[in-house]
Amino acid sequence: MPKRMPILLLLFLVCLIPAAASAQEEGKRIALIFGNNAYSVSPLQNAVNDARAIEKALRDAGFKTILRENANKTAMEEATAEFLQQLGPDDTALFFYAGHGIQIENENFLVPVDFEPASSVIQAKFRCFSMALLFDALKNRPKRSIVILDACRSNPMAKENALESGLAQPQNVGKETYIAFSTGPRQVAADNPNGRNSWFSEALADMIAQPALTIEEVMTRVRARVTNETEGRQTPWSQSSLTTKFYFHAPLNANAENDPTMAEKWMEEARRREQREEWDQAIDLVNRVLQRKPGGTLEELAAADLPYMVARRDAQKRYDASDFSAAAELFNKALDLDPFSIEAAFRGVDSYLLNDGLPEAVRLLHAIRVRGTSAAIEKANTMLKELAPVFPEAGQELNAGVPDPPPIEQLFRGLHFGVPDFDAGRRYLQSSPVELSRQTKELGAAFPPPATVVAVTPDAVAEEHNPLAADNGFRVEVIPTAATRDLAIRRVADSGQPQEFGFVKLVGAEAQVPVIFNGKAIAQQLPVNLQLPIGQYEIRLIREGQITAQQTVDVTANGVNVITVKP
Amino acid sequence: MKPAILCGVLLAAGAAPILAAGWTDRGEYDLALAIRVEAAPQKQLALLDQWKSRYPHSALRQARRELYLAAYYSLGDRVGMLDTAQEMLTDQRDDLVGAYWGVTLIPGAKNPSRELWDIGEAAANRLLAPLPAGGEWQKEKDSLAWLAHRVLGWIQWQRGNYPAAEAEFATCLAKDPKNAEISAWFGMALADQKSPEKVVPALWLLARAGSLKGEGALPDEQRRQMNGLAERIYISYHGSTDGLDRLRSESLASAVSPADFRIESAAAVAARKADEELRRTNPQLATWMSIRKQLEGPDGDKYFAETLRPAPLPKLKGSVIRCAPERKPTEVGLGLSGGSAEEVVLMVHPALPFAAVTGTEIEFEGMADSYSRGPFRLTVKVDKEKITGWPQKPAPHRR
């Protein structure tokens, strides 16, 4: 096996590679994600799941991802080198780590899975992955860096090694960097042993997936959710030196404050809240939509959703208070408002059964069989079977068979199949201007700045030698004919009478082209406007000593001759 | 053949749905319902992909595409939306939902192709054709026609078919004069032609696109872009930014430039300045240049008959080119513009005492008698006494 290059050296070499090598106009998004569970001492349960969830969310957000699970120190450093190597100056780099982290002498270190208890602080440092080194490597490399550490978990390793728990506030961080910790510096985060993911990573993956949120908005929401879910025991922390907004999923219009699609985003968020049965928040969002009066389908949808959500919220409250009679009526009302809310129907069935309302429960089970999924129908059938011995109508319902599902048009509220959502189209046109950068650039190039006016003096006319005659490049030569020369000589000899001039404008793409007047270089760049004594001139285009084109022009008083030069 | 295999073959071939309302089976309905319940558009897309892969030939595939459109819309995924619209139109050329989103999205498509433009053109024409009788379609009729002209203008511009693009954009502006986006596109299409007569109306439109505020205005970034472009073209054409601010404010008055609107070209500015300079430094030459220019112009005869001939000419200066006859000349050929060509012939009365050498500068006053255009020549009757600078004695004979 070939001997490996020391990893620190490799990282150092990567830092030396010019970052411009992979420059792109819009920049790439590249993420390095670690999830470390498999520690010999104090293994974790969720860090790998966290890394996977974040990797998926980032991939969906357009990141190229490098995921490493249960990485030892070598694997962490190799992956980091691979990550850094791919970064260009227009790129966004994201580093996510889930696992144990420690602070040693106010410096943060991530713990690889092969970490062994150290006999000294120095030894412990060398056995860990240094965040300081990572921050240093990220400086001035990508356009922006995002570092997220879910690494502040309760950590017996720290105790064993007489180290402090939690992470230190990062020092010496580069510009355009966003740092987030799952909890505040020197505090300890929970791994959420009863869940698949840590509180922090679960909320983060969820929020990253949402459109039109800046990273700050993502973190604010993550903070609120984690604080709420941990009953205030854990509050995620962040620090930013970003000077521009960063969106995981860009809004339709980067200027979100004036975004005409804001109401749509609130409605989408309301639907997410609805899915999680966070009724108060969902109702609040729908009310905001209605206050904005977006009109059209969106307003119709919000107006239709609001009473349904209120009914669901109230029903749940009554159910939780064991007021099953009221709960049943409210679930029933919710089902009337949204006949496809199978969940409301089942809860209504529960409530009716708890309140001895068998006929009503069977009616709701019928509704489930009309509109529910196969699984819901199966569940309803099982309930009907159980009810049949005590309530014959349940058996009749069961025997009646399952009706065909309703047409798709009934399924999706706010969507009229075969007719586009014209309001959405209008909002789209307002919020998504057509990109014109390419056309603007091309047109701008086609209209160069006006030619510099070069006044050619009679002295130049008299000069005969041609210093650039041997030049092999491309040039333009302006040669006065004999008539002009005679005239100029006569004028020069004259007694101070004003000279009359005309113009020869040499145009073409903006370019470095020497313009030689009678052997003397008078301009180096096109376009140029030559102010010449009136008379006849020959314009020659010369490439490598050969005349490639020539044209005779008569320069009259104040006349303008335009010659297009194609180098 | 076993029934299960037969069933699979039928599904793959896009057989008639087994259930009512177009559902192939309960599984398809389950997927649709799962999409309905799902709030996250990314997850909706994953479910739609499942639906598409399991039921590629579903009778509900156009409806499914509409759900794709909604999910992509939620994500702001322009490419996904346009691909879907294109798929809808490929499957069913007159699909109105596909046509609507096609015409909305094609301008500014990242990787446009001739095929896409053809699809866009067909879609636009579909929207311009009679629409379904339903209330919503009829209510949107005008805005759909506008949208169709917008995309047609864009497509013709991209194809380089400028007259057609101009006509489409003009139609759009006639319906919505404050639409800065169309002003910008129209201006760019005109400027793209790079012909001097198109530059001035282009500048008007670009200045307007960069100046309009409020409803219909461009976003700030694009306003800056248009202002930058207008300035560059203006400087290229006019030579400086003089008058650009005035153009910007005037352009707010009408969607397109008035028929008599002019911007002086850089060459005209240079000529005017040179002319002003000449009037300051050599007023006699400037006067002569002006006379000659008018005589050579389209109304030269009228100018000669009504203005020049009835009144004495101002004092002019010229250099002698020839005298005839050599002794006691009555005819003197003069060059007035500095060249060797004879421009004025003086008919002198009484005869001059002797000829002057070529190049002798004299001043004269007289009455214009006749003129010819080719070669240009003005004949002037002059009293001998009205000539100054004639030599006092004949030139010595050459040995």
Per the prediction, chain B carries an average pLDDT of 90
Q: How many domains does chain A have?
A: 3
Among the partner residues A408, A446, A556, nearest to B194 by beta-carbon distance:
A446
CATH number at residue A300: 1.25.40
Residue A431 lies in a domain: no
Helix (H, G, I), strand (E, B) or coil at A553: strand
The answer on A455 and A417 residing in a single domain is no
Q: In this predicted structure, what is the pLDDT of residue A487?
A: 38
Q: Give chain B positions within 8 Å (CB) of A375.
A: 30
Q: Is pLDDT larger for residue A264 or for residue B138?
A: B138
Of A29-43, A185-199, B150-164, give the range with the top mean pLDDT.
B150-164
Q: Over range B70-98, report the average pLDDT.
A: 91
Count CB-CB contacts under 10 A for residue A445.
11
**B366 touches B344 (CB < 8 A):** no
Q: Is pLDDT larger for residue A120 or for residue B86?
A: B86
The answer on A362 and A298 residing in a single domain is yes
The answer on A559 and A417 residing in a single domain is no
Look at residues A250, A274, A299 and tell me which one is the last residue of a structural domain: A250
Of the ranges A114-128, A506-520, B297-311, which one carries the lowest mean pLDDT score?
A: A506-520
Look at residues A250, A278, A311 and tell me which one is the last residue of a structural domain: A250
Q: Which residues 207-236 in chain B show a CB within 8 A of chain A?
A: 218-219, 222, 225-226, 228-229, 232-233, 235-236
Model pLDDT for residues A402-420, shown as the tens digit of each residue = 888 999 999 988 788 999 9
For B3-132+140-186, give the CATH class.
mainly alpha
CATH number at residue A183: 3.40.50.1460
The answer on A455 and A380 residing in a single domain is no
Q: Classify residue A144 by its DSSP letter.
A: E
**A364 touches A357 (CB < 8 A):** no
Q: In this predicted structure, what is the pLDDT of residue A158?
A: 58
Q: Give chain A positions within 8 Å (CB) of B337.
A: 500, 534, 556-557
CA distance A341 to chain B (A): 8
Model pLDDT for residues B167-177, shown as the tens digit of each residue = 999 999 999 99
The answer on A281 and A239 residing in a single domain is no
Q: Give chain A positions within 8 Å (CB) of B101.
A: 420, 425
The answer on A500 and A415 residing in a single domain is no
Residue-range domain boundaries for chain B: 3-132+140-186, 187-281, 300-388
A62 touches chain B (CB under 8 A): no
Helix (H) or strand (E) holding A315: helix A296-320
Which one of A25, A439, A531 would you mutate to disrupt binding with B, by most B Cβ within 10 Å of its Cβ?
A439
Q: Which residues 22-51 in chain A show a CB within 8 A of chain B?
A: none
CA distance B40 to chain A (A): 7
Q: In this predicted structure, what is the pLDDT of residue A153?
A: 58
CA distance A59 to chain B (A): 11
Q: Domain range holding A343?
A: 263-423
Q: In this predicted structure, what is the pLDDT of residue B278?
A: 84
Q: Supply the ipTM of this predicted assembly.
A: 0.75
Q: Over range A286-301, report the average pLDDT.
A: 87
Spatial separation of the C-alpha atoms in residues A293 and B141, rounded to whole Å: 24
Model pLDDT for residues A443-476, shown as the tens digit of each residue = 988 888 776 667 665 444 444 444 444 455 788 8
Count CB-CB contacts under 10 A for residue B351.
13
Look at residues A224, A250, A276 and tell me which one is the last residue of a structural domain: A250
B36 touches chain A (CB under 8 A): yes
User: pLDDT confidence of B217, banded at 50, 70, 90?
Assistant: very high
B396 touches chain A (CB under 8 A): no
The answer on A207 and A275 residing in a single domain is no
The answer on A232 and A365 residing in a single domain is no
Q: In this predicted structure, what is the pLDDT of residue A438?
A: 86
Spatial separation of the C-alpha atoms in residues A109 and A512, rounded to whole Å: 56
Helices A7-16 and A73-85: crossing angle in degrees, nearest 10, is 10
Q: Give chain B positions within 8 Å (CB) of A418.
A: 96-97
Among the partner residues B26, B240, B271, nearest to A405 by beta-carbon distance:
B26
Model pLDDT for residues A169-228, shown as the tens digit of each residue = 777 777 889 999 998 876 777 666 666 778 899 889 988 887 778 899 899 888 888 887
B107 touches chain A (CB under 8 A): yes
Which one of B37, B105, B136, B200 would you mutate to disrupt binding with A, by most A Cβ within 10 Å of its Cβ?
B37
Question: How large a percentage of chain A has pLDDT more than 70?
Answer: 82
Spatial separation of the C-alpha atoms in residues B366 and B314, rounded to whole Å: 8
Q: Over range A520-548, report the average pLDDT.
A: 82
The answer on A244 and A274 residing in a single domain is no
User: pLDDT confidence of B364, banded at 50, 70, 90?
Assistant: very high
Q: Is pLDDT larger for residue A343 or for residue A249?
A: A343
The answer on A272 and A241 residing in a single domain is no
The answer on A235 and A282 residing in a single domain is no
Q: Is 60 exceeded by the pLDDT of residue A21?
A: no
Helix (H, G, I), strand (E, B) or coil at A428: helix
Model pLDDT for residues A326-344, shown as the tens digit of each residue = 999 999 999 999 999 999 9
Helix (H) or strand (E) holding B270: helix B266-281
Q: Classify residue A122 by its DSSP letter.
A: H
B300-388: CATH, from 3.30.70, 2.40.50, 3.20.20, 2.60.120: 2.40.50
- Read off the tokens for A469: 């005659």
The answer on A326 and A208 residing in a single domain is no
